[in-house]
Amino acid sequence: MIRRGSSADVVDVRWEVLRPGRPRETAIFPGDDAGFHWVDEEAGQVLAVASVIPAPWPAEPLTPTSGLQLRGMAVSPAVRGTGRGAMLLVAIQRDLAAPLWCNARADVLGFYARFGWRVRGGPFDVPAVGPHHRMTWSPP
Ligand SMILES: CC(C)(COP(=O)(O)OP(=O)(O)OC[C@H]1O[C@@H](n2cnc3c(N)ncnc32)[C@H](O)[C@@H]1OP(=O)(O)O)[C@@H](O)C(=O)NCCC(=O)NCCS
């Protein structure tokens, strides 16, 4: 079941999936307290998480207001490839219905593209993580 959560709800899956082997603090992002968080939970166990954090548009603004960055999209390895990432992303796009941007790992561009995201340049390197491309999404 997908529900809105707090930054505390998302940190452990983020840490496991996106910052393995690094200190837990690296999974706490600047702006988390002002962000919006979603979790996919079954029987009290958080299986997938994603967040949207207010952050300036990195290039040309898509709206006159400040940007919104999708961050920390992470599905636990045991349930990966079973549609949970898709459900989470669709829920976020539906709930916010506002333009979003993200820095997408090069090996997941195809995932975001399935849900209407477009590559906006790159690649660029994120130290200790790898190559990324900037992507954006606007409501249809
Ligand atoms: C990327 C991730 C969030 C996708 O979530 P998931 O639950 O595994 O994906 P889903 O099962 O919902 O897949 C939905 C669709 O996207 C496709 N897809 C999934 N991962 C993909 C990828 N890396 N590249 C291209 N397509 C992908 C699936 O084949 C599926 O397509 P279908 O509907 O035609 O069957 C998840 O695999 C993950 O957490 N990966 C590791 C962390 C990561 O890279 N996060 C993103 C950081 S930018």
User: pLDDT tens across 110-136, in order?
Assistant: 999 999 999 998 899 988 889 999 999
111 Cα: distance to centroid of ligand 1 (angstroms): 5
Our answer on whether the CB atom of 90 is closer than 6 Å to any ligand 1 atom is no
pLDDT higher than 90, residue 98: yes
Q: Are 29 and 71 in contact (CB under 8 A)?
A: yes
Domain ranges of the chain: 2-137
- Select from 13, 38, 108 the residue to mutate for testing ligand 1; criterion: most ligand atoms less than 8 Å from CB: 108
Position 121 scores a pLDDT of 85
Q: Please provide residue 138's backbone torsions phi and psi, each rounded to the nearest 5 degrees.
A: -125, 145
Which residue is closest in CA terms to ligand 1's atom 18?
111
pLDDT higher than 80, residue 62: no
Our answer on whether the CB atom of 132 is closer than 6 Å to any ligand 1 atom is no
Distance CA 57, CA 128 (A): 23
Ligand 1 atom closest to residue 108's alpha carbon, by position in its atom list = 23
pLDDT higher than 90, residue 66: no
pLDDT higher than 80, residue 64: no
pTM value is 0.96
User: What 3-state DSSP class applies to 11?
Assistant: helix
User: What 3-state DSSP class applies to 59?
Assistant: coil
Distance CA 140, CA 123 (A): 26
Number of alpha helices (DSSP H) and beta strands (DSSP E) in the chain: 3, 8
- What top-level class would CATH report for the domain 2-137? alpha beta
109 Cα: distance to centroid of ligand 1 (angstroms): 9
Our answer on whether the CB atom of 13 is closer than 6 Å to any ligand 1 atom is no
* Angle at 117 (CA atoms; ends 111, 121), nearest 5 degrees: 100
pLDDT higher than 80, residue 138: yes
Position 60 scores a pLDDT of 77
Ligand 1 atom closest to residue 107's alpha carbon, by position in its atom list = 23
136 Cα: distance to centroid of ligand 1 (angstroms): 17
Position 128 scores a pLDDT of 84
64 Cα: distance to centroid of ligand 1 (angstroms): 31
